[in-house]
């Protein structure tokens, strides 16, 4: 009975540690979905609208890859999001590129390659613009991502 209790306690500690590691990996990841920003800009059946909507799906995949630690795939997905965002309205482009550059910065930091600081700076400029041109709920999402970017950057600076 004692061994079983000891084993159970050890298993609980391991699960708590796994949860803490997983939480630290995903803390800055996955902004809320922003696909709702797409419906009012182009006719729903136009090729441009479909490509723009693909950018929103690609953005979600980028963050999913980051959370799954599939960094190489996430980096490619971020690039594809940026490319597809060119088919969106100016307001949508700013939001999509801001989120995609944020994801790419986190991925570059995890891989220790690229210029994560520059990507975060570019993302924050776009997210700041997003705050001024989106409706209040969407502007709040852009502000939240920008704040998470600033916090991540501060953490990165303190760990160097």
Token representation of residue 155: 């953490």
Give mean pLDDT, residues 132-153: 83
Q: What does the block give as tokens for 30?
A: 């996955």
Residue 69 makes CB contacts below 8 A (sequence gap 6+) with 25, 110
User: What is the SS3 assignment for 112?
Assistant: coil
Residue with tokens 């800055």: 28
Contact 37, 138 (CB under 8 A): yes
User: Which residues are CB-neighbours of 36 under 8 A, at least 6 positions away?
Assistant: 138
Q: pLDDT per residue over 17-41, tens digit each?
A: 444 444 444 444 444 444 444 444 4
Residue 7 has pLDDT above 60, yes or no: no
Q: In the predicted model, is pLDDT for residue 75 greater than 90?
A: yes
pLDDT at 10: 55
């Amino acid at each position: 009975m004692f061994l079983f209790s000891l084993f159970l306690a050890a298993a609980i500690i391991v699960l708590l540690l796994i949860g803490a590691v997983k939480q630290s990996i995903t803390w800055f990841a996955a902004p809320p979905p922003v696909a709702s920003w797409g419906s009012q800009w182009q006719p729903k059946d136009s090729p441009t609208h479909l490509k723009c909507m693909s950018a929103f799906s690609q953005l979600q995949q980028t963050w999913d890859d980051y959370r799954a630690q599939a960094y190489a795939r996430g980096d490619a997905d971020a690039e594809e999001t940026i490319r597809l965002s060119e088919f969106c309205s100016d307001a949508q482009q700013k939001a999509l590129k801001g989120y995609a550059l944020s994801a790419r910065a986190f991925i570059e930091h995890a891989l220790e390659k690229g210029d994560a600081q520059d990507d975060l700076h570019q993302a924050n400029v776009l997210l700041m613009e997003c705050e001024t041109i989106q409706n209040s709920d969407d502007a709040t999402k852009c502000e939240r991502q920008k704040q998470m970017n600033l916090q991540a950057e501060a953490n990165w600076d303190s760990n160097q």
